A and B are shown apart, each in its own frame.
Chain A
Amino acid sequence: MTSPAAPLRSLPTISAARRRKDKAARSIVAVLTGLALVPLALVLFYLFQQGLGAWSVDFFTTDPTGRSCFPGQTSCDIGGVRSAIVGTVEIIALASAFAIPLGIAVAVYLVEYGKKTKFANTVRYFVDVMTGVPSIVFGLFVYIVLVVAGIGGSWGAWKGSVALALLMLPIVVRSSEVVLNLVPDQLRESALALGSPRWKVITSVVLPTARSGLITGSLLAVARAAGETAPLLFTAFGAAELTFGLSGQMNSLPLQIFNDVRAPQDAIVQRAWGAALLLVLMILALNLIARLAQRRSKIS
């Protein structure tokens, strides 16, 4: 029954005991793998079961400003999550505007100029260190530097974006570096041999070749940041009303869920499930787009 090539089967060398052990070990590994997928199935099942029930037109078009809903009350307007959706999109867009160009610039430096120099290796090392920093510590840092110091008022959505950008930066750098390293050196060399200067090689040969890979890495970083709550807690702080200005407090989906989970009323918890379903679907969509971009890649 052992699957390695057919000739082996004719050799009577594998005893029954060894065969049993092989089978047992392989089943355990398969069962443990299945076990890893159980929580995924349960989480998704409950998300859809509970979350879809919360969705309605009002859910998307009203803000969570309504009064609380008491038991026995048949109709209550706790409101939807419009301001949270707008807030998440704005905060994430600004964070991406900070982190993606900066991250790609650092990666270009590491691959095209820094290479194996001591300075470049130090930068690489500290980018790795940044990957390991807990997201709440980034929130604390931005709180100290921007909120306590009162730069542009106290709480502000753009400060939340800065915290998320710090979180995204190392992810963008590392993924972009991998992609830029995949660009064949022959392409660079032929461009240089034609007499183009280094910056021109980067802008018209290296970056276009690596484009879809860079997009994939950036989108995965965006997806990662979109679900983060901790860095926003004491930076963007949250506000129930619909706000557009990034300089004031702003609501976001993760914050709305975090606040709703701890509410005693069922209707509010229901809203948390609806918001969670929406957030997960947004993140899955970003992941899907990232994968599609990867598939179109010229280099693999």
Chain B
Amino acid sequence: MSTPDTTLGGARPSLELGRALRSRIDGPVRQVLTAVAALILVLIAYFLLRLYLEARPVFANYGALNFVTDNAWVPSKDSFGAWPLIAGTLITSVIALIIGVPVAVASALYITELAPARIRGVLTTLIELLAAVPSVVYGLWGVFFLIPKIRPAEQWFSDTFAFLPFIGGGTVAGPNYFIAGLILAIMIIPIISSISREVLDTVPREHKEAALALGATRWEMIRMAVLPYSRAGISGAAMLGLGRALGETIAVTLVIGNAPRIGESIFSQGYTLAAVIANEFGEAASDPVHRAALIAAGLVLFMLTLIVNFIARWFVTRSEKRLSAAAAASHAPVQTAGAKA
């Protein structure tokens, strides 16, 4: 692009000019960019601080421990016990994991190991499309399709397996924990599937070929070579999915029933932390105590997702470290084999 200097002597001054420019503009550019990056740290610190300060009246009145363990959430009586909300958040998220993880991991396995090459791309795109549907649209679909359509099946299931704890509990409510969990499962499948796919793609080809060469069937290869290698990464993917499920708001608000108590079975109405914030904020705007309680609920939710994400990262980095160690160990023999061939 730039015309090169033809003489050696001509190259020198332009180099010095570059140096001068570098010292004059490079410094500020670097400083500005560093400041922008530091802004993120400041933002998060400020974020936590403000949430804590705003929630403090509630913690001061009830005690932080009482707030999370007390069972009665009755804003009209100024009683703010968040346990039913926390329990609802955990119940729906666990249901989502139980349904979503097997499906997501199976889809990742199918796409990376079993599917014919020409449908891989299509399948990947279709699974990613699940993530393109907004939360509020899943809620709309849940309310007008899922709830009425699967209610008889839920009732049958609840009656047939009534002897199991948390399953049989009389009549099935329209909106309930299970429906919320099911919708959350649909919403977390794409994220778990895509991270699992990335993890599965890192399984060394040699391991798989070795298993096949020893006479393993495809499934035996998956079980013996692929899954053990990627277990930590898949656990991390599931935890990231859990983090997503905990904080999901709008779809859950529409299908959980919004009853601030702990239901007796998974087919009862409930409430979650995120849903209570979304629902009650309008009325709470004029009541400082209620508002503080909702912000405290947000803080608890934030902490929960923080812990889950922390564990998830730990899993993922552990698997990454092991991967790089394995890659370093297996690299030498592979190269010599290649050299011989």
Contact = CB atoms under 8 A, between A and B. Distances in A.
A279 interface: yes
Contacts of B33: 105-106, 108-109, 112-113
Interface string B198-236: 000000000000001001011110100000000000000
Given A126-B40, A136-B249, A22 B104 contact: no
Interface stretch (A65-73, A89-97, A138-146, A181-189): A138-146
A202 B254 CA distance: 47
A151 interface: no
Contacts of A240: none
A300 B295 CA distance: 44
A156 B287 CA distance: 21
Contacts of B123: 33
Interface centre among A114, A141, A145 (most CB of B within 10 A): A141
Interface stretch (B79-87, B132-140, B328-336): B132-140
Nearest to B193: A36
Nearest to A105: B36
Contact of A130 (B40, B144, B301): B40
Contact of B40 (A2, A43, A112, A127): A127
Contact of A141 (B18, B47, B240, B250): B47
A42 B183 CA distance: 13
Contacts of A207: none
Contacts of B18: 195-197
Interface centre among A13, A36, A131, A258 (most CB of B within 10 A): A36
Contacts of B41: 122-123, 126
B189 A36 contact: yes
Given A37-B127, A43-B138, A137 B107 contact: no
Contacts of A276: 134, 136-137, 140
Question: Dominant SS at the B interface?
Answer: helix
B341 interface: no
A77 interface: no
A37 B220 CA distance: 26
Interface string B115-127: 1000000010011
Given A29-B109, A137-B247, A4 B103 contact: no
B96 interface: no
A145 B50 contact: yes
A194 B335 CA distance: 36
Given A26-B114, A228-B134, A36 B219 contact: no
A58 interface: no
Contact of A4 (B136, B212, B244): B212
B128 to A, nearest CB: 8
Contacts of A4: 212, 217-218
Interface stretch (A209-217, A242-250, A280-288): A280-288
A227 to B, nearest CB: 3
Contacts of B143: 261
Interface string A35-77: 1110110110011001000000000000000000000000000
A251 interface: no
B117 to A, nearest CB: 12
B217 A33 contact: no
B21 A39 contact: no
A292 interface: no
Nearest to A122: B41
Given A21-B219, A26-B219, A113-B30, A35 B50 contact: no
A162 to B, nearest CB: 11
B133 A43 contact: yes
Contacts of B115: 33
Interface stretch (B66-74, B151-159, B263-271, B305-313): B305-313
Listed from nearest, the 10 A-B pairs whose CB atoms lie closest are: A134-B247, A227-B134, A32-B106, A195-B18, A22-B217, A197-B22, A132-B309, A109-B33, A25-B219, A230-B249
Interface of A: 2-5, 8, 11, 13-14, 18-19, 21-22, 25-26, 28-30, 32-33, 35-37, 39-40, 42-43, 46-47, 50, 102, 105-106, 108-110, 112-114, 119-120, 122-123, 125-137, 140-141, 143-145, 148, 166, 169, 194-200, 202, 223, 226-230, 233-234, 254, 257-258, 261-262, 269, 272-273, 276, 279-280, 283-284, 287
30 contacts: A22-B217, A26-B114, A28-B106, A29-B109, A32-B102, A33-B106, A36-B104, A36-B107, A36-B130, A36-B193, A106-B33, A109-B36, A112-B33, A119-B38, A123-B40, A132-B305, A134-B249, A134-B301, A137-B51, A140-B295, A143-B281, A144-B50, A195-B11, A199-B29, A229-B250, A230-B135, A230-B249, A230-B274, A257-B140, A261-B136
Given A137-B302, A141-B47, 17 more contacts: A3-B218, A5-B212, A36-B107, A40-B133, A42-B141, A43-B133, A134-B305, A137-B298, A140-B294, A195-B18, A223-B132, A230-B135, A234-B282, A258-B250, A261-B136, A262-B254, A283-B133
Interface of B: 2, 11, 14-15, 17-19, 21-22, 25-26, 29-30, 32-34, 36-41, 43-44, 47, 50-51, 54, 102-104, 106-107, 109-111, 114-115, 123, 126-127, 129-130, 132-141, 143-145, 186, 189, 193, 212, 215, 217-220, 222, 240, 243-244, 246-250, 254, 274, 277-278, 281-282, 285, 294-295, 298, 301-302, 305-306, 308-309, 313
